[in-house]
Amino acid sequence: MKKILVTGALGQIGSELTEKLRSTYGEDNVIASDIRRPEQPSGIFEEIDVTKEKEIYEISKKYKVDTIIHLAALLSAKAEAFPKVAWEINMGGLVNALEAAKELDLKFFTPSSIGAFGPSTPKNNTPQDTLQRPTTMYGVNKVAGEILCDYYYSRFGVDTRGVRFPGLISYVTAPGGGTTDYAVEVYYEALRSGTYTSYIAKGTHMDMMYMPDALQAIIQLMEADSDRLKHRNAFNITAMSAAPEHFEEAIRKHIPDFTMDYQVDPVRQGIAESWPDSINADAAKEEWDFEAAYDMDAMTVDMLEKVREKIKKNSA
């Protein structure tokens, strides 16, 4: 990768990825884009509505990029509330981005998710290649997106690559409309009020990952030797399988009085239950050497420190 366009650059992944790419590949070699302008602009930014057929193409051409990292998407809970809009953004945006990559001969990354699996998928140690019949609109978009990206690779030779992200935990930009968002909220509430009410039930396991590992995964996969890749769209990756009580336990090591109770949201609980409890990420390790650096305890130490600083700064 030398010159990169990021769509959805103001989102949870995009805001941090853009900074990391700029420090790795050079400030002027990363074009951030989103549907709205940032409040505090820094670096090159372009407004792009991914659902407009030619906008990704025009901006990619204007800056002569060699890679598109397409992140613009609606997450699972939001997509369940607005399925038709989700289809338009998640699938319409993806096909426009893939067309730009095809026309301009660009490398291409877009994330899939553990949401690409469904209730009939093996729940534990979910294999890389397995049954995928998701029961959510987000899952339908993700599995269709994986197949579409593979199609652009085999039919048109576009160098498409992707990972199935687990729930991502970060302190810079809040996730919006996901099922795994509780795993971010819990840290803020632990520090603000010492208590958190989880909308996901005790004992509900999902794969999770700290954002630095997720960013590393994107860069490592995009820089991986193409000849080693037997899979493309998309690789299972994970750092931990966790339920709400595991966050409670880890936070209590630092905030002993922290308490957690439960008020389950049936929609997000239903989505969570349709996803795997733990996925197998051997293919990512074998084909491009991916291994997460942060486990629950290391992530919790860092999250509490960073969120504490943020709360202090915002209240100053």
Contact between 274 and ligand AKB per CB under 6 A: no
Catalytic residue among 57, 138, 152, 196: 138
Quote the least distance from Cβ 181 to ligand AKB, whole Å.
Answer: 7
CB 104 within 8 A of CB 114: no
Q: Which is nearer to ligand AKB, 110 or 113 (CB)?
A: 113
Window contacting ligand AKB (CB under 6 A); options: 44-52, 111-119, 146-154, 236-244: 111-119
Quote the least distance from Cβ 190 to ligand AKB, whole Å.
Answer: 20
Contact between 241 and ligand AKB per CB under 6 A: no
Mark whether 188 is an active-site residue.
no
Among 110, 141, 180, 198, binds ligand AKB (CB under 6 A): 180
Q: Which is nearer to ligand AKB, 43 or 270 (CB)?
A: 270
Among 14, 115, 162, 276, binds ligand AKB (CB under 6 A): 115
Among 145, 167, 244, 276, binds ligand AKB (CB under 6 A): 167
Supply angle C-alpha 220, 221, 227, rounded to 5: 120
Our CA dihedral for 82, 114, 165, 81, rounded to 10 degrees, sits at 10
Among 11, 118, 178, 244, binds ligand AKB (CB under 6 A): 178
Quote the least distance from Cβ 200 to ligand AKB, whole Å.
Answer: 10
In the shown chain, the binding pattern of residues 45 to 84 toward ligand AKB, with x for contact by CB under 6 A and - for none, equals ------------------------------xx--------
Our CA dihedral for 279, 284, 285, 289, rounded to 10 degrees, sits at -150
Q: Identify the bridge partners of residue 34 per DSSP, sorted by sequence position.
A: 47
Residue with the CB atom nearest ligand AKB in the bound state: 178
Window contacting ligand AKB (CB under 6 A); options: 16-24, 32-40, 63-71, 173-181: 173-181
Q: Which is nearer to ligand AKB, 76 or 96 (CB)?
A: 76
Active-site residues, by number, are 138
Residues contributing to the site for ligand AKB (CB under 6 A): 75-76, 113-115, 138, 165, 167-168, 178-180
